[in-house]
């Protein structure tokens, strides 16, 4: 297969971790007979340094022309970096918001997986961590409360703020279809999360999800109220496969889910549009505190590359080969500093990339 990948290494640890992901992808290409063509683009602080803005129109066009985007992370130290003396729309993060919008990335996927080898990092009770968990939080990314009309004004002498939560049936249907499609590639269970006992937007959400579910007879689905879901995530996370939810609930629940895995350097993410196109990136930021020291954990970015193979290119076997190589490296007790514990062998970012590539 011939795959065109726009690569945005970004700032901080971005170039280090993306370099390791490309190393692993090149090994996949060699072993399975694919060609990965990389088009390297600037976004974030590195683009400000060269072009004066965090993302150029030319970079957007080149990203659109690719099949997928592999992203590291952008931004610097928000207290000391000169990038943060610029107005908000010129700062590194503005590039990220701009590219998400330009590429119409409405579906955000964040896997939360507890590796048995790292269960000591899980902050939950031992008997819960013992059972493990492997879920995909699927969050609607371009609608709902964060994008609705808002204003703050004085009403009868009292300051009053209004935010509007709007969803139409098309926005709900397209994310629900993505959620059920992804469940078909996993354990075939969807938990749709809403607040249908209070909100009209949630009642419409529930109705449309039920309609979509009829087209997926193999998938078991259930509805869960968001407050209950927040509790269930810490009480019994093993029950979840795909958690499908709207923007704000997903924002909060995905952070809760990543917290219970205990290790930010292991968490991948993907944002998809209506086609197979996606942008794939680690959940963490640019970690300026360890940038340039060859200390970062590249696994989140390597797992993001595996998600790209699975969801954009339908290369499930190759994605699995990467995931298995990571498990093997952990089984062999190699750890970067962020996941190091007693008796394990410390390796650098590039050594971790080498070890995984060798085992693909
Ligand atoms: P951060 O995720 O960069 O760092 C938080 C902590 O986690 C740090 O101690 C860091 O060393 C550690 N960490 C993160 N990723 C790691 C990895 N792969 N391996 C080992 N340790 C890792 O969050 P922050 O410090 O709040 O933000 C730093 C910068 O990153 C800011 O400019 C912020 O705006 C930006 N940011 C970018 C993105 C993105 O590009 N999508 C996301 C979040 C934050």
Buried b (16+ CB within 10 A) or exposed e, 280-296: bbbbbbbbbebbeeebb
Q: Which of 198, 196, 199, 227 lies closest to 210, judged by CA?
A: 196
Q: What is the pLDDT of residue 120?
A: 84
Distance CA 184, CA 304 (A): 19
Residue 354 zone, left/alpha/beta (φ > 0; ψ -120 to 50; rest): alpha
Distance CA 196, CA 249 (A): 13
Distance CA 353, CA 16 (A): 10
Output the residue whose Cα is nearest ligand 1's atom 9: 287
Distance CA 71, CA 65 (A): 15
- Residue 291 CA, ligand 1 centroid: distance in Å: 10
Contact 161, 152 (CB under 8 A): yes
Q: What is the pLDDT of residue 147?
A: 85
Burial group, residue 106, by CB count within 10 angstroms (0-12, 13-18, 19+): buried
Output the residue whose Cα is nearest ligand 1's atom 16: 265
**What DSSP string runs through 207-259?**
HHHHHHHTT-TTSEEEEEEHHHHHHHHHH-GGG-SEEEE-HHHHHHHHHHHHH
Question: One of 194, 195, 221, 334 is an active-site residue; which one?
Answer: 195
Contact 295, 339 (CB under 8 A): no
What's the whole-model pTM score? 0.91
Question: One of 57, 227, 314, 316 is an active-site residue; which one?
Answer: 227
Distance CA 53, CA 78 (A): 17
Note if 251 is an active site residue: yes
Q: What is the pLDDT of residue 264?
A: 84
- Ligand 1 in reach of 134 Cβ (< 6 A): no
The token pair that represents 128 in the structure block: 């819960």
pLDDT, one tens digit per residue, over 35-80 is: 999 999 999 999 999 999 999 999 999 999 999 999 999 999 999 9
Share of the chain above pLDDT 70, in %: 100
Segments of the chain scoring below 50 in pLDDT: none
Domains and CATH numbers, the chain: 1-103+277-360 (3.40.718.10), 106-273 (3.40.718.10)
Distance CA 205, CA 171 (A): 9
- Ligand 1 in reach of 265 Cβ (< 6 A): yes
């Amino acid at each position: 297969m011939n795959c065109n990948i726009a690569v945005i290494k970004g700032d901080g640890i971005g170039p280090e971790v993306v370099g390791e992901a490309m190393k692993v992808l090149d090994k996949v290409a060699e072993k399975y007979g694919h060609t990965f063509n990389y088009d390297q683009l600037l976004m974030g602080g590195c683009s400000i340094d060269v072009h004066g803005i965090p993302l150029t129109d030319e970079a957007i066009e080149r990203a659109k022309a690719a099949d997928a985007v592999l992203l590291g992370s952008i931004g610097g130290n928000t207290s000391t970096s000169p990038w943060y003396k610029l107005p908000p729309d010129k700062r590194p993060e503005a590039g990220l918001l701009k590219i998400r919008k330009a590429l119409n990335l409405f579906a955000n996927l964040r896997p939360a997986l507890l590796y048995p080898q790292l269960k000591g990092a899980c902050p939950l009770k031992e008997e819960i961590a013992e059972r493990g968990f492997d879920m995909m939080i699927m969050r609607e990314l371009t609608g709902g409360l964060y994008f609705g009309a808002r204003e703050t004004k004085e009403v009868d002498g009292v300051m009053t703020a209004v935010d509007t939560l709007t969803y139409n049936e098309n926005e709900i249907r397209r994310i629900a279809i993505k959620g059920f499609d992804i469940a078909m590639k996993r354990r075939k269970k969807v938990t749709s999360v809403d607040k249908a006992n209070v909100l009209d937007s949630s009642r419409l959400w529930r109705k449309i999800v039920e309609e979509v579910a009829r087209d997926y007879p193999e998938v078991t689905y259930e509805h869960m109220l968001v407050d209950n879901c927040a509790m269930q995530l810490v009480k019994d996370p093993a029950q979840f496969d795909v958690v499908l939810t709207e923007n704000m609930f997903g924002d909060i629940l995905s952070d809760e889910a990543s917290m219970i895995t205990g290790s930010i350097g292991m968490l991948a993410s993907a944002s998809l549009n209506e086609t197979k196109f996606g942008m794939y990136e680690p959940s963490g930021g640019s970690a300026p505190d360890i940038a340039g020291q060859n200390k970062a954990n590249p696994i989140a970015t390597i797992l993001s590359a595996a998600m790209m193979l699975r969801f954009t290119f339908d290369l499930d076997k190759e994605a699995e080969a990467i995931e298995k190589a990571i498990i093997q490296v952990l089984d062999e007790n190699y750890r970067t500093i962020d996941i190091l514990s007693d008796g394990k062998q410390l390796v650098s970012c590039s050594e971790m990339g080498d070890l995984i590539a060798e085992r693909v």
